[in-house]
Amino acid sequence: MTDTERIGGDVVVETLRALGADTVFGLPGQHALGLFEALRRADDLRVISGRVENNLAFAADGHARARLAANPDGPVPVTPLVVSTGPGALLTLASLQESRAASVPVLGISSQIPVAGLGGGRHGYLHELPDQQASFAGVVKSVHVVRRASQIPSALREAWTSASTAPYGPVWVEIPQDVLLGPAGVPPITSVAAAPVPLAPLPELVTAAADLLAAASNPVILAGGGALRSGAHAELAALAEALRAPVLSTFGGKGVFGWDHELSGQSWLEDWHSTEFLADADVLLVLGSGLGELSSNYREFAPRGRVIQVEADLGKLESNYPGLGIHADVRLTLQALLEWVPMRRSDGRAEAAVASLLSRVKSRLDGQDLAVERKLVDDVRAAVPDGTQTYWDMTIAAYWAWSVWNPEGAPIHTAQGAGGLGYGLPGALGGAAATGGPTLAVSGDGGAMYSVAELATAVQHGLDVTWLIVDDGGYGILREYLTGAFGQSTATELARPDFVSLAQSFGVSAQLSTLDTVGADLAEALRTPGPSVVVLPALLKMFEPTHLEQS
């Protein structure tokens, strides 16, 4: 084969380019050779490789989130991920579960065994599974299987459209080895375009919602991840100010409403004061949230007024609480509501209610011995320059950040959608590839060991990531959970490496920090181009839960 002989892999690359891709995250495998040869010949597509497929999928997720955060008004930025058959493909499942839970548009492309082996015949091909696509069907939005090179453009267009249609999410495309290696069979592809259909609300439902909101004496808005993903920042602010309605954000919705806005109740959703504040609304407008476990304070939330739920994911509509359900994109719904909802003059009541809520939350925290944890989050936030994307693993520092982190100028991306470990560093690698600027990753020592190999990826691709590792000697949050439930913990205490020396062995600048110096150490690391690691030995605590007091 010569460079001028086009193969199926070239059709994939040409289609991705036509659809708007400029970066591909990929890890080669035997069945995917044709695709990676095509990527080699495509000098206008950047290929970010990795060490483990699940980390690479997290990186693709982080890349898409950073693009969404940086340009909420632009086209939906689908990020391609390319892996090989069987073991390589299956390793992405946990990461794609996070992308699905958080509505992140990732396009997974996997090779497959030769066409003749498809159908579960158990022919004994390397990496063969009886039905690989079945493993993904319950995880991603849609699965697409190609059997001829001529099917590639349409399959990728359908997948791209699925990923970028509200609710956004990961999709999966499988292409057999012999199709990728075989003749292209079609002319060069340059004109493929995806056209997601806007998910507009039904007019009669908008009218009904507007009537409820106009008549409400105490309206409150809960903004979820769907509001953030739809780019509804301006529309949400306009509606809140028109209604004089306080706005609280779910952990996934942080950043869609001004943190210090006079109507912002921020995001202390695990505090009973916030739970009751939402329950007291005579009309609660829920935007892009399914009111799941975390957003409902572990199911203890019990609304006493009417609920209006705007949700692009049909399966989440009224799945937990009855109400007026509107199946639609949040931004489009807010635009429609703004045409009907009257403008109210401020009388100071909503602002006073928000100030009282935040004061009560603060008083509750002041009554606990949490000075170390609160100062740590403040120091980390102060160290982060404006415009820096931040990525948080499932660790106690992140559990604090869900509630207290001010995302203005420093968007926060976390793994709380599905709750899997290992997201911080690879997510931040994707963010750095998307923005070209510094990114921050935060992990515990347990989660860090899931992805420490990707320090080599950071070095290889020159990605500007500063990684804060809070080392408490184990799985800290699980230690708390087990000790709280049973008085002792099991399998939470961990042997771990000298993270500073380990990072330095990769050629990464690293230093041991303290609670007194971590802010300055992080600020210096973030100012210095290239990958760096800051290790903080610290035993952190969570604030006391409030849902247990109600049960």
SS3 222: strand
> In terms of C-beta density within 10 A (0-12 exposed, 13-18 middle, 19 or more buried), how is residue 471 classed?
buried
> In terms of C-beta density within 10 A (0-12 exposed, 13-18 middle, 19 or more buried), how is residue 260 classed?
exposed
Mean pLDDT check: name the lowest of 96-100, 112-116, 240-244: 112-116
Looking at residue 173, its amino acid is: V
Q: What is the pLDDT of residue 343?
A: 94
In whole angstroms, what separates CA 92 from the centre of its chain? 15
- Integer Cα distance of 48 and 422 in angstroms: 18
Q: How far is CA 343 from CA 99, 245, 248, in A?
A: 38, 11, 20
Q: What is the pTM of this model?
A: 0.96
| Strands 79-83 vs 23-26: parallel, antiparallel or unpaired | parallel
Contact (Cβ atoms closer than 8 angstroms) between residue 212 and residue 324: yes
Question: Closest by alpha carbon to 109, among 42, 67, 169, 155?
Answer: 155
List alpha helices for 71-151, DSSP H. 87-90, 93-101, 132-137
Q: What is the DSSP letter of 73?
A: T
- Integer Cα distance of 227 and 205 in angstroms: 18
Q: How far is CA 329 from CA 413, 467, 521, in A?
A: 21, 35, 42
Is the pLDDT at 550 greater than 70? The verdict is no
Q: Where are the beta strands (DSSP E) in 259-321?
A: 264-266, 283-287, 306-311
Q: Looking at the chain, how many residues does it have?
A: 551
Q: What is the mean pLDDT of the chain?
A: 96
Is the pLDDT at 85 greater than 50? The verdict is yes
Question: Closest by alpha carbon to 515, among 339, 371, 392, 309?
Answer: 371
pLDDT in tens, 378-398: 999 999 999 999 999 999 999
pLDDT in tens, 312-365: 999 999 999 999 999 999 999 999 999 999 999 999 999 999 999 999 999 999
Question: Closest by alpha carbon to 228, among 210, 243, 209, 247?
Answer: 247
For the segment 151-178, the average pLDDT, to the nearest whole number, is 98
SS3 511: strand
Backbone angles phi, psi at 9, to 5 degrees: -60, -35
For the segment 530-539, the average pLDDT, to the nearest whole number, is 98
Vertex 349: Cα angle to 344 and 354 (nearest 5): 110
- Integer Cα distance of 110 and 88 in angstroms: 8
Question: Closest by alpha carbon to 307, among 284, 290, 276?
Answer: 284
For the segment 460-473, the average pLDDT, to the nearest whole number, is 97
Question: Closest by alpha carbon to 276, among 297, 252, 246?
Answer: 297
Sheet arrangement for strand 439-444 = 412-414, 389-392, 439-444, 465-471, 532-537, 509-512
> Please, which residues have CB within 8 angstroms of residue 59's CB and are 6 or more apart in sequence?
25, 48, 50, 426, 427, 429, 430, 433, 454, 457
For the segment 20-33, the average pLDDT, to the nearest whole number, is 97
Is the pLDDT at 505 greater than 60? The verdict is yes
Q: What is the pLDDT of residue 1?
A: 44
pLDDT in tens, 28-64: 999 999 999 999 999 899 999 999 999 999 999 999 9
Structure tokens that stand for 433 in this block = 């590839």
